[in-house]
Amino acid sequence: MKQFLTEFFTWWNGTTFGTRFYTWRFGQFVGEDEFGNKYYRYTQSQAIDSNVGAERRWVSYNGYADASRVPPGWRAWLCHNGDVPPSEETYKPREWEKPYVPNMTGTAMAYRPQGSMLATGKRPSATGDYVPWTPGE
């Protein structure tokens, strides 16, 4: 029952029933990424938007809906920056590309630079070079 209510009322826990039905009815499967996300397209005869074209593209997340879990190649395809999906081309990551790291904002593992009030350790002392502005000077 919990799974049914989750799919019926929430969008952040994965695909809802409405999206699942739309995908079943109109979706053409394009490919899947290394995280298990599935990508679909729907080509219509009339253009959705003259700037975008007639093709509607969407992703069905595997688990929690987090946009940072979409790889760069698929992100470009979803945003119509490329016409060929990564599943139809041979893509090799560059040596400077880093592996995926989940977005940790709002968790205990979030990045906290030195000097941040939330960082551990002692804050550096003030240098005394700051002079506040006062009117009339």
Cite the DSSP H helix spans in 27-108. Answer: 72-78
Answering whether pTM is above 0.85, one says no
- The more confident residue out of 12 and 38 is 38
Confidence of residue 3 (pLDDT cuts 50, 70, 90): low
Instruction: Give the number of other Cβ atoms within 10 Å of residue 9's Cβ.
Output: 10
Strand ranges in 10-113 using DSSP code E only, listed in sequence order:
28-32, 38-43, 55-60
Contact 118, 107 (CB under 8 A): no
CA gyration radius, the chain: 23
pLDDT at 136 over 90: no
Q: According to the model, what pLDDT value does residue 47 have?
A: 60
Contact 55, 47 (CB under 8 A): no
Amino acid making up residue 58:
W
Q: Cα(116)–Cα(126) distance, rounded to whole angstroms? A: 13
